[in-house]
Amino acid sequence: MNICIVGHGMMGVWHSDALIDWDCRLHTIVGRRPEPTKAFADQYGYSKWTVDFSEALTDKEIDIIILATPSEMHAENALESLAAGKHTLVEIPIAMNFKDAKRVVDFGRESGLTLGVVHPLRFRWATKNLRNRILAGEENIRQIVTRFYIHRLENVGGTGYKRSWTDNLLWHHITHSLDMGLWLLNEPVREVHSFMPPPDLKTGIPMEVFLFLQ
């Protein structure tokens, strides 16, 4: 399989690290600026690099696109990737609202291609084991409480670079905890209550989120 990763921030690093020893080819890395994109390609042994996403989509050798772009771009990038006939893996969130998420999911089903969203907490041993016990009737969960703390007070990614886009606490990080809780409960949600204060003046994003699902 020929892999193309779009974005070489922390998620681009993690996906490249995860795939480098697998039976696949790191074909193309897509970035925003030529110099760091080329440097990343050289570091991981990508066959090609480009700062033009459209160029990568027209490459017939590429089988799979992994989207590690800013959150606000995920939905449109996924639609473009699927329309180009590429199997697509999207970093969380799949979209910034329900309408766009549904567009991506519906188009993925219609295309017949594989569409995936990255939710790594489902693959940890502890959560997998607990879900298996729940499905087998060995456990009966009445309540799940999760807390996600972020100590970052500047808009700097895990690689140390200041982002050119604003990270979103709710849609980017809390999605992990929310998905894990829904996956473990394996039941429909009847009510949703939420609270998120205005953006913090220093960081530009809300610094607290409360979600209650019943």
Same domain as 113, residue 156: no
**Based on C-alpha coordinates, what's the Rg of the chain?**
19
What pLDDT score was predicted for residue 140?
Answer: 86
CA distance 75 to 115: 12
Strand, coil or helix: 29? strand
CA distance 116 to 179: 14
Same domain as 132, residue 106: no
Same domain as 99, residue 8: yes
Q: Are strands 210-213 and 192-195 parallel, antiparallel or unpaired?
A: antiparallel
Same domain as 13, residue 95: yes
Please name every residue paired with 66 in a beta bridge, in sequence order, or none if there are none: 5, 89
Same domain as 12, residue 108: yes
Same domain as 41, residue 19: yes
CA distance 189 to 192: 7
What pLDDT score was predicted for residue 76?
Answer: 97
| CA proximity to 210, closest of 177, 165, 187 | 177
Same domain as 80, residue 165: no
Same domain as 125, residue 74: no
What pLDDT score was predicted for residue 181?
Answer: 85
* Cα 126 → chain centroid: 21
Pick the last residue of a domain from 73, 88, 117: 117
In order along its 214 residues, the chain shows pLDDT tens digits of 999 999 998 899 999 999 988 999 999 999 999 999 999 999 999 999 999 999 999 999 999 999 999 888 999 999 999 999 999 999 988 998 889 999 999 999 999 999 999 988 888 899 999 999 999 999 888 878 877 776 666 667 667 777 776 666 666 777 888 888 888 887 778 888 888 888 878 767 777 778 788 7
CA distance 72 to 33: 19
Pick the last residue of a domain from 117, 139, 169: 117
> What's phi and psi for 86, nearest 5 deg?
-105, 135
* Omega before residue 93 within 30° of 0, cis: yes
Same domain as 161, residue 85: no
Same domain as 24, residue 65: yes
Please name every residue paired with 6 in a beta bridge, in sequence order, or none if there are none: 30, 67
Q: Residue 139: which domain range?
A: 120-213
What pLDDT score was predicted for residue 214?
Answer: 79
Pick the last residue of a domain from 92, 117, 142: 117
What pLDDT score was predicted for residue 133?
Answer: 93
> What's phi and psi for 170, nearest 5 deg?
-65, -55
Write the CATH number for 14.
3.40.50.720
For tokens 């606000």, name the residue. 72
Total domains, the chain: 2
CA distance 73 to 193: 27
Same domain as 109, residue 82: yes
Same domain as 134, residue 34: no
Angle, vertex CA 168, rays to CA 29 and CA 115, nearest 5: 50
